[in-house]
């Protein structure tokens, strides 16, 4: 059994901690208790990328593993976090509908796209000039609860300390933090990794996102509606609407411009009456090539990173965390598109 320290208990750190625990490792986490990404997220897992009407990257590997993982962890920590949902895409053009029609007869899309029905084409739930289609096998994780319930779980088990990372206590050569030496140390600091020196050479970007929580009697949908934005049904006629993409922006302020953009995006779906209850802002850790940042530090043996989960973190994190655990414990090579060697190899 190895003694392992993880900095950061957001989505990356918690998924990795669970996967390492499943491998019987002795895991500790340190987190400042101020999460601005995993807990702000809508937690939606959409198998499709609608722009090109393609499956998401490595979908057939990620999705079943994520579905099983979140249900198992929900049971383990005693919180209901996993919610299956239908995503209804309202097509923005005839061309988009034709792309769906091409895909719906392809065997590799049969688990994800329902064939278009008369009802889909005439659906009244939103402005619907080109019809709509229903995505199968989508779900959402209650993201705020994920972070909170995991923190409580790891605290209960004496594994999580709530404090800020102190660079003065950190010796990367010796893998020592304070007066404890670890076998392995992993940085999972999300967008805040940028201000930490150990992995500062990586091209991590900070992409702000804002969402609204609204109340509406008129939307009346149990499905998640999608065009330009998503509308995710919660309880009691409450809906989450998101999200903006504000590149290279690490400000946590909610803004009027963000709110107006979300209102505008929502109007592309329908002319509903609603009340805005809440506006939130968070920062996604993104990479230009849209692939995560995983691997071992080029100089410091036993020091790793798990970051860059971007916009689809909730789908990818369980499998990627398992792959990182196998890389660390069994020297099993990482998927080449995820390995930070793509930025460090000469």
Sole binder of ligand FAD in the list 47, 270, 295, 313 (CB under 6 A): 313
3-state DSSP assignment of residue 307 = strand
Give the span between the Cα atoms of 212 and 220, in whole angstroms: 17
Smallest separation (angstroms) from ligand FAD to the CB of 310: 6
| 292 lines the binding site for ligand FAD (CB under 6 A) | no
Compute the distance between CA of residue 149 and CA of residue 339 in angstroms, rounded to an integer: 30
Least Å distance, CB 23 to ligand FAD, is 20
Rounded to 10°, the helix 313-330/59-77 angle is 90
**Closest-approach residue to ligand FAD (CB):** 10
Residues that bind ligand FAD (rule: CB under 6 A) add up to a total of: 42
Binding flag, residue 47, ligand FAD (CB under 6 A): no
The correct pick among 19, 25, 35, 150 for binding ligand FAD (CB under 6 A) is 35
Q: Is the distance from CB of 139 to CB of 128 less than 8 angstroms?
A: no
Kind of pairing, strands 160-162 and 26-31?
A: parallel
Separation between Cα atoms, residue 300 and residue 321, nearest integer Å:
20
Between 12 and 128, whose beta carbon lies closer to ligand FAD?
12
Among 164, 180, 276, 277, binds ligand FAD (CB under 6 A): 164
The only residue of 133, 172, 233, 282 in contact with ligand FAD, by rule CB under 6 A: 282
Identify which range of 16-24, 79-87, 100-108, 281-289 contacts ligand FAD by CB under 6 A: 281-289
What is the DSSP secondary structure assignment for residue 132, as one 8-state letter? E
Q: Does 81 bind ligand FAD (CB under 6 A)?
A: no
Does the footprint of ligand FAD cover residue 243 (CB under 6 A)? yes
319 binds ligand FAD (CB under 6 A): no
The dihedral sign for the CA sequence 132, 51, 334, 310: negative
131 vs 308 by CB, closer to ligand FAD = 308
Q: Sort strands 180-181 and 44-45 into parallel, antiparallel or unpaired.
A: unpaired
Among 113, 185, 309, 325, binds ligand FAD (CB under 6 A): 309
**Which member of 5, 11, 27, 59 binds ligand FAD (CB under 6 A)?**
11
In the sheet with 184-187, reading across from the earlier edge strand, the strands are 160-162, 26-31, 3-7, 184-187, 303-307, 293-296
Q: Shortest CA distance to 208 belongs to which of 253, 167, 170, 172?
A: 253
Whichever of 36 and 227 has its CB closer to ligand FAD, that residue is 36
d(CA 150, CA 333): 29
Task: State the residues that interact with ligand FAD by CB under 6 A.
Answer: 8-13, 30-32, 34-38, 40-44, 164-165, 188-192, 209, 211, 242-243, 282-285, 307, 309-315
């Amino acid at each position: 059994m190895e003694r392992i320290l993880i900095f950061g208990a957001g989505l990356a750190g918690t998924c990795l901690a669970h996967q390492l625990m499943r491998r019987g490792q002795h895991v500790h986490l340190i987190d400042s208790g101020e999460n601005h990404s995993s807990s702000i997220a809508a937690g939606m897992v959409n198998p499709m990328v609608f722009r090109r009407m393609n499956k998401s990257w490595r979908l057939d590997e990620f999705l079943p593993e994520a579905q099983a993982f979140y249900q198992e962890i929900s049971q383990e920590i005693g919180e209901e976090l996993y919610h299956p949902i239908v995503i209804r895409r309202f097509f923005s053009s005839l061309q988009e509908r034709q792309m769906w029609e091409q895909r719906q007869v392809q065997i590799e899309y049969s688990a994800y796209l329902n064939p278009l029905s008369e009802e889909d084409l005439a659906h009244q739930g939103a402005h619907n000039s080109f019809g709509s289609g229903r995505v199968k096998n989508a779900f959402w994780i209650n993201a705020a609860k994920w972070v909170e319930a995991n923190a409580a779980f790891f605290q209960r088990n004496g594994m999580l300390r709530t404090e800020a990372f102190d660079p003065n206590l950190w010796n990367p050569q010796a893998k020592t933090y304070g007066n404890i030496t670890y076998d392995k140390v992993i940085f999972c600091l999300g967008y805040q990794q940028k201000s930490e020196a150990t992995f500062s050479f990586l091209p991590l970007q900070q992409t702000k996102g804002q969402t609204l929580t609204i109340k509406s009697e008129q939307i009346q949908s149990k499905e998640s509606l999608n065009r330009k934005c998503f509308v995710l049904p919660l309880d009691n006629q409450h809906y989450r609407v998101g999200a903006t993409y504000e590149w290279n922006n690490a400000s946590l302020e909610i803004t009027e411009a963000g709110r107006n953009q979300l209102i505008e995006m929502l109007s592309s779906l329908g002319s509903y009456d609603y009340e805005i209850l809440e506006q939130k802002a968070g920062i996604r850790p993104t990479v230009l090539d849209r692939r995560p940042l995983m691997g071992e530090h080029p100089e410091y043996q036993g020091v790793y990173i798990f970051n860059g989960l971007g916009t689809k973190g909730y789908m990818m994190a369980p499998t990627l965390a398992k792959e990182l655990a196998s890389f660390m414990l069994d020297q099993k090579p990482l998927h080449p598109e995820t390995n930070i060697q793509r930025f460090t190899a000469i």
